[in-house]
Amino acid sequence: MSWKDEYQRKLISINDAAKLVQSGDYVATGLGPGNCSSDVYNAILARYEELEDVIMFDALQIRASRLLNPEFLVKSYGHINHQTGYGHKTVRKTYQHKLCDYLPSNVVDCHEKISRRASIFIAQVTPPTKDGYVNLGLSNFYTIDSISFGKASGKLRLAIAEVNEFLPVVNGNNWMHVSEFDYFIENATPPLIVPRSTPTEVEKAIGNYVLELINDGDTIQMGIGGITEAVVAGIEGKHDLGVHTEMFPIGLPELIEKGIVTNARKPFHKGITIATFCLGEQSMYDYVENNPACQLYPASYTNNPAFIAQHPNMKAINMAINCDLTGQITSEGIGSRMVSGVGGQLDFMIGAQLSPGGFGMTLITSSRKRDDGSLISSIVPDLPPGTPVTVPRHYAQFVITEYGVADLRYKSITERAKALVAIAHPDLRGELRDSMKKNFFPGFVSDLVLDK
């Protein structure tokens, strides 16, 4: 049978695909732009009364569906429940109501955890090439590995591809053959556009400190957000930077156009920016489409700390919610309230620390405003009970706020506390100093000694 005949034989409608879900199934989808469409989500969710104990797993929820609606999840509870590995802001309301479960995993091994659970996997792909290969478009991440590992173990019953002609073809190890899927759905939906952020003055201040730690020839990893935009805007004057990252930085095209990013000094994939997914504006999607200098690979490759560590002068740049006075960093939530997920932060922090000349940077605004307008410090004496530690303190190095840089790696916990108080919000340092005196010093030590 030719691949074209095989493709036609496997082609089904959205409603027929939804009917393949059985009670007890664990239905996983690709990350972010690789998620199935809202049409497929909602066709499955429409059957909730017929089903029992179905889990829908996704990550980086960027498509609207009833899976993000707390009222619907109350009705569907026990029939179809939601689980995620990397929470986007769209799931914070369902997190708050305990209607979205969380699967703890680093990016480098998330495929292994998914492949042990998933009975059905759904991914978006491009139309087949003349040779019968489909491209994963903007999101590789755990898709290839989850399907191949799941099929090899016999756990994965069905692999379903949603063919989307609007997806750009992105080079790299980003291809699968028609024969690797059991069914195809044809459904064209434009990729979601995520506009670039405008950095605030605080984010610009943090970005300036980051720029002081980046040198010509460094390889960098950074994600999305206002601080990243501040770094991109201020990085003029740097030369021959390399990019090995989890997500293509939104400012990548202009960095390459200006000759700031050349990837010329990387020991692997010279001249090529490596990532595992892409999310941004249409101009970004147009730039990466069929561009040999921008390639996507499975996250088991891009986020492998051992591979990251082989890049000299690797600089990992990530954001966080809180940091305690010993250097424990959290980016996932506060107490039992989930906000996001660990993502690749720990993968790159470990890899960067093991890289010759490399290190990790944790970026954090010194404070946040409560609803009543009062300030709460992001540098805290202790993490609230139940708070997950995203980066253990022995992997913390540079913690950066708008008030400066604390280099923690070679400091004791007492020395760390003093360094972190020095970059906290000035109005909140008194409380932190009182806590530091109580928790880190004997009672007879005076303020004069602490000031040294």
Return the active site residues: 246
Cα atoms in the Cβ-side hemisphere of radius 13 Å centred on 165: 3
Per residue, what are the HEC states of the chain? Answer: CCHHHHHHHHECCHHHHHCCCCCCCEEEEEEHHHCCCHHHHHHHHCCHHHCCCEEEEEECCCCCCHHHCHHHHHHHCCCEEEEECCCCHHHHHHHHCCCEEECCCCCCCHHHHHHCCCCEEEEEECCCCCCCEEECCCECECHHHHHHHHHHHCCCCEEEEEECCCCCCCEECCEEEHHHCCEEEECCCCCCCCCCCCCCHHHHHHHHHHHHCCCCCCEEECCCCHHHHHHHHHCCCCCCEEEECCECCCCHHHHHHCCCECCCCCCCCCCCEEECECCCCHHHHHHHCCCCCEEECEHHHHCCHHHHCCCCCEEEEEECCEEECCCCEECCEECCEECCCCCCHHHHHHHHHHCCCCEEEEECCCEEECCCCCEEECEECCCCCCCCCCECHHHCCEEEECCEEEECCCCCHHHHHHHHHCCCCHHHHHHHHHHHHHHHCCCCCCHHHHCC
Comparing CA positions, the residue from 178, 237, 226 lying closest to residue 203 is: 226
* Contact in structure between 161 and 181 (CB atoms under 8 Å): yes
Tokens of 381: 């004496």
CB atoms within 10 A of CB 16: 12
